[in-house]
Amino acid sequence: MLNHKETYFIRIVDASKPFVVGLGECAVFRGLGSDDVPDYEKVLAEVCWNIEDYKDCYKERLKEYPSVVFGLETAFADLQNDGRMMPFPSDFTEGNGFVKINGLIWMDAREEMMKQIENKIEDGFSCVKMKIGAVDFESELDLLRSVRKRFSKESLELRVDANGAFSMEDAMMKLEALSKMDLHSIEQPIKAGQTENMASLCKDTPLPIALDEELIGVFDKSKKQALLDEIKPQFVVLKPSLHGSFCGVDEWIGLAEERKIGWWITSALESNIGLNAIAQWTYVKGVSMAQGLGTGSLYTNNVHSPLVLDGENLKFDETKGYDFKD
């Protein structure tokens, strides 16, 4: 169980505008991110002390540290836009747009998970994502059946995320069973790194498969192309702080669209600093389907931010601003 998550904030100041600060978050994800390495803080300190040497080449020099690139790319974009918490200004930051998000259902006892789903629907969500694979599979199927008896696929979109919990031996059987639940998709049914097995599943699956952890640590364009060409997934799930920041995710999107592979954006437990940047950037991409953005409510000491949730719609309220006092 994850009880805390460390993060680092970067502030960049232009000497010609000493009162304008660009703010970014280096959202390292211990145990999952490819940059969870012993020298992380040393690399980050080197960048901060020598920012002039990195400002024009950090995306390439630091590509194996996606969370550092994420922090720098956000901070430079924020600085360029006068440090107003608006690295990617648009109608969204003017308060005239929103990003539709899915409701996330956490692993729990069956009754508690059903209660979570009911609460999300009452809150106005038309798409929920359920984590599966940590408890008895038949119990999970029974829960999905109960949900479908009450809510049709037209009234509620259901997504599931296995986080690599299935073995290759039983994966297809489980996909067949899940496909009868009118699901939108399943994320990462088997563990990452089994390229041939994942390709086999994607070829014959009765349920659309989305790659997630499979993309972590793949930074070179040629390797991205090779991965998509071999596996041929139906979707890819893209997390800026894990998959190469906004520049890296843009490359993934371009390659996916060339191959007619669907995609959506997901946050990865960033604080509200990183989440705000991801939400703004996601809106600029012109998305319409539900995205996997969090709300920052999991943390007891999160930074207050201008993001507000209106039903299933994530919005920006400039009057709220950041507050580091807590």
> Which residues belong to the active site?
131, 239
Give, in degrees to the nearest 5, the angle at Cα 174 between 131 and 166: 60
Q: In whole angstroms, what is the distance from residue 69 CA to residue 15 CA?
A: 22
Question: Under a CB-based contact definition with an 8 Å cutoff, are residues 214 and 227 in contact?
Answer: yes
What residue has token string 């954006």?
A: 265
CA atoms within a 13 Å half-sphere pointing along the CA-CB vector of 305 = 29
CA atoms within a 13 Å half-sphere pointing along the CA-CB vector of 278 = 35
Across 227-297, where does the E strand assignment appear? 235-238, 262-265
Query: Most distant CA pair in the chain: distance in Å?
Result: 63
